[in-house]
Structure 1
Amino acid sequence: MVRWRRYRPDDGFYELFTRSAQNLVTGAHLLAELALPGVDVQSVSERLVELEHDSDQIAHEIYNKINSTRRPPLDRADIYRLGSTLDDVMDHLEAAGTLVYLYGLTKLPALPREIHELVDALTQQAELTAAAMPRLRTMRELREYWIECNRLENEGDRAYRMLLVRLFSGEYDALTVLKMKEVADELEAACDAFEHVANIVETIAVKRA
């Protein structure tokens, strides 16, 4: 039998959302480190894996709170979707970093410029998202967040398309193309997932308006 706890205005959900989003900032910065000369790629990959495990744990804490709180501060379905989608972003960031390590792509003379552009868009999306999560309490000053996050997703899409053009231009051998495209797919999926987070926040704000 579920034991309902006495209702509190936030019941810890906002702190968990914020922690999850802060992990995304750290994850995006770790991806950016992969382009630094002399970086320990294995160490970066391992740190991303640890971060992904922590984000999984946060997501499970959110799900448990949904089931054990009589009156959560937001719609239960919205809480679940937000927690799950934040975790999805971390999954894609970790996958991209792990693939760069396993495929040995940092041994190339340089990663394509468009991959750096994708990571830069992701970093900006992560920082915007981390700043927005605490504002869910008041629902104030969120509109600019989801507008800018969506704009950055469009930038990421543009960088992804230009990367595909480069990959299929003959500049790289076929095996390298396959490896880099898999990494690019994960980065583009992370950009999309950030946009999904922003869309969920917009939905929540409209409901509370």
Structure 2
Amino acid sequence: MRFRIRPVETTFYDLFAESASHLVDGANLLAQVLDPDVDRTALAEQMRDAEHQADETTHKIVKRVNSTFVTPFDREDIYRLASSLDDVMDFMEETVDLIGLYEIKELPAQFAAQVEVLQRACQLTAEAMPRLRTMKDLEEYWIEINRLENQGDRSYRRILADLFGGGYKSLEVLKLKDVVDSLEHAIDALESVANTVEQIAVKES
């Protein structure tokens, strides 16, 4: 029988919950690009601020794991989870930044569906992080994230079909594809978070 000493302090769990809460905020900010009247310059600044706050939380996690003798689960998994959470915010910030830089006025029809997937996946991730304390009731989370990622893939393919269907100018296609690729990467990163949580739960069970 294997015995595992678990630290009493809960800092890591709190920090992961904090990190995931940043994602909810970021996804809600990103959703504002769907409003044609939104000030996208101001929105991009807000997203940069949100991304910096998320970075600070990631740095706190890394600093904590480097100074803690006994961690609640494997150090490599802590690094991987923190990095995947950080990747989600980075891609969301990139999406908003590109929309502003490219001065995109109209987004593809399926873009809103992608944003909905992102928002839902971020919310589920935020709800799941506190459950790392007990490693219980997490299976439904990663199953639903996988389903949402598949749904996002279908929307992504429809967007690409629309972009290359002849209704856009070549330069518009390149710009819009950069934007939808960034959003797709954010959704993929959320699946990486869920996969890491699943691996941790399996190891700790």
Matched, 1:120 2:104: no
**Aligned pairs, how many?**
200
Give the secondary structure class of the aligned counterpart of 2:34: coil
Q: Which residue pairs with 2:164 in the alignment?
A: 168
Q: TM-score, normalised by structure 1?
A: 0.93
In structure 1, distance between residues paired with 2:155 and 2:61:
34
Give the C-alpha shift of residue 139 in structure 1.
Answer: 0.9
Q: Which residue pairs with 1:15 in the alignment?
A: 14
List runs of 5+ in structure 2 lacking aligned partners.
1-5
In structure 1, distance between residues paired with 2:48 and 2:8:
33
Q: Which residue pairs with 1:37 in the alignment?
A: 36
For residues 52-131 of structure 1, the aligned pairs below 5 Å read 52-105=51-104, 107-108=105-106, 111-131=107-127
Q: Which residue pairs with 1:206 in the alignment?
A: 202
In structure 2, distance between residues paired with 1:22 and 1:50:
14
Give the C-alpha shift of residue 101 in structure 1.
Answer: 1.0
Q: Which residue pairs with 2:3 in the alignment?
A: none
For residues 147-162 of structure 1, the aligned pairs below 5 Å read 147-162=143-158
Q: 2:129 aligns with which of 123, 129, 133?
A: 133
Q: Does structure 2 retain, via aligned residues, the 8 Å contact 1:30–1:44?
A: yes
In structure 2, distance between residues paired with 1:93 and 1:179:
16
- 1:52 maps to a residue whose letter is E
Matched, 1:24 2:23: yes
In structure 1, distance between residues paired with 2:176 and 2:36:
19
Give the secondary structure class of the aligned counterpart of 1:185: helix
Give the C-alpha shift of residue 8 in structure 1.
Answer: 4.0
Q: 1:178 aligns with which of 171, 174, 181?
A: 174
Give the C-alpha shift of residue 165 in structure 1.
Answer: 0.3
Deviations 1:36-67 (A, max 9, x none): 13111111111111111111111111111111
Matched, 1:48 2:47: yes
Q: Does structure 2 retain, via aligned residues, the 8 Å contact 1:11–1:72?
A: no
**Identity within the alignment, %:** 51
List runs of 5+ in structure 1 lacking aligned partners.
1-6
Give the C-alpha shift of residue 113 in structure 1.
Answer: 1.7
CA RMSD of aligned residues (A): 1.1
Q: Which residue pairs with 2:189 in the alignment?
A: 193
Give the C-alpha shift of residue 123 in structure 1.
Answer: 0.5
Deviations 1:75-126 (A, max 9, x none): 1111110001100110000000100111111x23xx2121111111000100
Q: TM-score, normalised by structure 2?
A: 0.95
Give the secondary structure class of the aligned counterpart of 2:166: coil
Give the secondary structure class of the aligned counterpart of 1:34: helix
In structure 2, distance between residues paired with 1:10 and 1:156:
37
In structure 1, distance between residues paired with 2:141 and 2:23:
16
